[in-house]
Structure 1
């Protein structure tokens, strides 16, 4: 069979790259000495490899603490602040006229028809409109006073159920100031926490229409306006509907604003944060003021240079600890996973950039690959590439505004490929953190100077870690990760048995048992091995780490989302895959198919067979064991969104829900 002939554009690309390689070789030789003196890679490697944490007792199981922690575990960023109310008041006094919360202007909203026949809401956004710390304080004060005026009682739960937006933070600050603990959930949370007042948004009011009859104690629905007038029909007459603005106006009345405030104490509950329920019924995590103050102090102390010059992009749902960074004068600009970028998470951003590169023609593709490989070698050698950053990566940085100085990833550990890609293309450090709702989101974080991959850093100054026995212990001790410190929360609301199971005391320290398996490496940094509940033993005896397999296979161009399933009665895994529409259509063209409807393509046996073949090859290329790679797949056309109940608000898989939803599909794949 004759090999395909290179096109003229391919030959030109090869020639251009050859000339560029020769030029860069000469450039490296000429600039080696001054550049070495400027970058000092030897110092970078020394800083990267220094011991960042160690076992206090010398026991491999811990407890591990940060080595640069000056003394006891920290409990607050400021000595004079014990509660979140103290913290925000201090911020207002320090940064009053500065911008605090920003919301992008909605220019247009239109329905865009998808290939599967469904309609997708497309929004066109404008610039940010900002309100100051003083304005936020006034709004929160008036809103809290207004809640008192319409019957909300101090130390009685008040529910907030709304999208990530500035008004959520204002409502939260009002509840904090007036000591209304705030559960975040819907039907389960409303009834379990016995709330009478619910704060939601106009767009979410229809959800309450469907279930308000099952919430016998609710008397008030306060909605956050978005320029639209909601329909009040179908709501029972005993339910009082008020806008957030109306409640603020009630609170601003002279008689109400003078109402004495029941200030919170540090041991009071600030939030009942309902977990995503990825493995079962949502659990209400009881978080006190002191828990949050402790967790926030640990985070802020390790984020280098955090202050008034920074803007934090608030787009993940209810990122309650990181958004408290406003205490340092940091602005928060609210966005969403869909308006921040078309790619919801970093892995998809990675694939989105490569799609554009692959569409740029042979020369553009070759130039980018050369620049990418060149910069990767320089980063791994301890150097920076300021010229390439300005010439090649400026346009890519512009995808996220061009001003990003640091990224933080707090979900599942990023793949090495994705993390290095973000380093290279966005010209900034990407810090990986590890924490849970039960630890106020705090736990560990990598340092800017750390050149390694695949780890989540050393413990924060606010907590310590232990490893509980696990069968494997090579090359470093491994075990279930236990997090101890003042950021470990008080337990689960009305779930005493589950609290006793997951929270324990060791030597006078309160610990949360995470269920994650990890190991501390030589320099004291934590590596997450897997989650106990994600480990599946196949019929042949091999263990499959489902999360790890999914993380690797998600990087296949054909895959947008994937859930791998394993059964101990069988010798192989199967998978449900949400396909990438663009690449699926390209595959159909390759196979000379005329069908372009994604739903129909997902049912086509030839397409399914070819997708399986290519996903499997991707797994082999990534050095996955053969028994880990799914042998049968089911293709889905629609994204799994939080509203479906199949993923959490941060797009983590809800395995139990997915297993139940695809119960028949899974059974058929195992026939």
Structure 2
């Protein structure tokens, strides 16, 4: 390819032709000759540089627990804050607002119209018509934060007690969050989809006195008010068309106020702020929990600020020209950290939701642009499940068009994929421009058309989905690894790393080391790469679990140098360039009857790549010699197969029970398992197809869409038993 490009750039004959002399002159001939020699050399050097391994992390001595540690070598010491004087979240936000006072800060779409549509089965679905984004500047948002902070105290909130935010992601969520910090109030964050028992447990355990929530949560709170022992004040976010929301919460001894009332109260009677120290607890963040009741992780101001400072060094050219789309739950540490990074860097944040994300999202009225179309973001965060769905959606549209469009897509995809994985010139040269113009621009428009960087976290991303986004969206994906217990800060892949399946080197606020897990067969002496349990240490490691010293002592340790470490339970391996790869999880490994070890998470990740699978839980009984699986099949794919195979059925539930459908899914899973090089005992021998999707509201998956294994095992106990019988 390099030769063909050079042929097009160089004159055909520059040595003796008199016409060439007339056309170029002696100087022109000299320049052309030099160019003909140098261009292929330069291109070859670029290709070689592309292929040369870049050292992204180096080993360091960390002391304490034995293991293997690497860190980003660009930073001489672990980062604590983005700049001097920003050691807590309140100070960081105030200084950012002063610096970017006139820049766009928070944007929200106005509700134009709401209607309900009745489906063929009688169910009603809400559809909304949303307008353009209306923006508030950093200066305006800062004023609202100050007003809310003063209003909270004027309302009677005791700074010695905690406030909780129990709401979906929106601008007021973050304004309330920052407002609490200006008066040293610790915030308890709770998923809006959390179940009743978990909600009661979270509020009572942390002794919350002021609860901030969506107006639609008021009726739900009224139903459990007698079980909430410490709540005395409720502040609700107003919603269009629901101005009398407080009338639905008639509870003795509860003072109910709207968000705007609290802001006005603080505006009329402002108070001097009281900033916290970096070691004070900023957030008690309740995880959605895959087992039992959720645990509250105590995150200090210093933890969040350190993660913010570290990530700001990793995302290239981050600044006020960027626009970020916020739609994941702010009660999840990934979204909270991401928005905090954006606000520290002066970016604009436009709020949306998973149900209104694209032009074809479930809640969007036909003809109304989705959030990505209206906002045209340059930056996004996504969890793997969402990226998998984007990939499936694009492929379904391509298959639906067929013909020349389908052929062009697949040719273009193969060429661009080869370029991303190999040639520098193919990745950034003329061929890229050609294929993007012909094939990929319409696909990129589905996410606004301006996306330049995407962050993925929450769970491992499949290689196929990562490459698909790289190619079709023309944007690098920064895979991140972190936990609530590490304030989201652990590892982050760099923008120029084109490898797949890895999460990059440690972020510059943390160390990562591996500790041998002999029982599972993973040791730091393994060849060709050291393997073991991933242990994170440094400034992002949190204080522990609220009111749970036993569990804290089990997974947190502080070494003789004062470095605090968190034992993640994940199994990883370090590549020679210092990048981490997640390969297993201790809790997901089951020993079968004949001694074989099966990693449930590994098998699930492999089988999720099947077009037939929307979600899956692999189950292994230690007393048996094989595994089984519960599968939520892709409705569109399975129904299309049934139509082609002539399988009659009344509805999707009946189709999932048909032996022919089960056999077809089983056959396709076997093909995927073989391609993924799974052993025979790892491939589920029997499967059960379930027609209803698993949602956070059902309690079967977390807010980040990770399966809740224990809840699924409990709900489908009889089905699992029948699969073995």
1:247 pairs, out of 262, 267, 289, with 262
State whether structure 2 residue 636 is matched by structure 1 residue 582: yes
2:348 pairs, out of 322, 331, 344, with 331
State whether structure 2 residue 487 is matched by structure 1 residue 474: no
Does the residue aligned with 2:93 lie in a helix, a strand or coil? Answer: helix
User: Alpha-carbon deviation of 1:169?
Assistant: 0.4
Pairing 1:135-154 to 2, within 5 Å after superposition = 135-154=140-159
What's 1:174 paired with?
Answer: 179
CA contact (8 A) 1:92 1:134 kept: yes
User: Alpha-carbon deviation of 1:657?
Assistant: 1.4
User: Alpha-carbon deviation of 1:105?
Assistant: 2.6
Matched residues in 1 for 2:406 and 2:229: separation?
61
State whether structure 2 residue 677 is matched by structure 1 residue 623: yes
Segments of 4+ in structure 1 off by > 4 A?
A: 23-39, 112-118
Cα distance change on mapping 1:530 and 1:118 into 2, 3 Å: farther
1:51 pairs, out of 34, 52, 55, with 55
Cα distance change on mapping 1:602 and 1:111 into 2, 3 Å: farther
What's 2:33 paired with?
Answer: none
CA deviations on 1:546-597 (whole Å, 9 max, x unpaired) are 2222222222222111111111111121112122221122122123134252
Cα distance change on mapping 1:536 and 1:118 into 2, 3 Å: farther
Worse-superposed segment, 31-40 or 263-272: 31-40
Worse-superposed segment, 287-296 or 466-475: 466-475
State whether structure 2 residue 278 is matched by structure 1 residue 237: no
User: Alpha-carbon deviation of 1:201?
Assistant: 0.3
Matched residues in 1 for 2:662 and 2:472: separation?
33
State whether structure 2 residue 337 is matched by structure 1 residue 321: yes
Matched residues in 2 for 1:114 and 1:579: separation?
21
Cα distance change on mapping 1:653 and 1:120 into 2, 3 Å: farther
What's 1:369 paired with?
Answer: 410
Matched residues in 2 for 1:488 and 1:208: separation?
33
Pairing 1:601-620 to 2, within 5 Å after superposition = 601-620=655-674
What's 1:17 paired with?
Answer: none
Cα distance change on mapping 1:599 and 1:234 into 2, 3 Å: farther
Pairing 1:267-306 to 2, within 5 Å after superposition = 267-306=279-318
2:478 pairs, out of 412, 423, 431, with 431
CA contact (8 A) 2:80 2:509 kept: yes
Matched residues in 1 for 2:157 and 2:537: separation?
35
Pairing 1:29-428 to 2, within 5 Å after superposition = 30=8, 37=42, 40-46=46-52, 49-57=53-61, 61-69=67-75, 71-113=76-118, 118-185=123-190, 186-227=199-240, 228-229=242-243, 230=245, 232-233=247-248, 235-253=250-268, 256-257=269-270, 259-318=271-330, 319-325=335-341, 326-341=343-358, 345-383=386-424, 384=427, 385-428=432-475
2:537 pairs, out of 484, 489, 492, with 484
State whether structure 2 residue 657 is matched by structure 1 residue 657: no
CA contact (8 A) 2:185 2:282 kept: yes
Matched residues in 2 for 1:350 and 1:129: separation?
30
Matched residues in 2 for 1:588 and 1:84: separation?
55
CA contact (8 A) 1:66 1:459 kept: yes
Q: CA RMSD in A?
A: 2.3
User: Alpha-carbon deviation of 1:99?
Assistant: 0.7
CA deviations on 1:34-63 (whole Å, 9 max, x unpaired) are 5884692222223xx122112213999223
The number of equivalent residue pairs is 643
Cα distance change on mapping 1:474 and 1:120 into 2, 3 Å: farther
Unaligned runs of 5+ in 1: 1-22
1:458 pairs, out of 500, 505, 515, with 505
Larger C-alpha radius of gyration, 1 or 2? 2
For normalisation by structure 1, the TM-score amounts to: 0.91
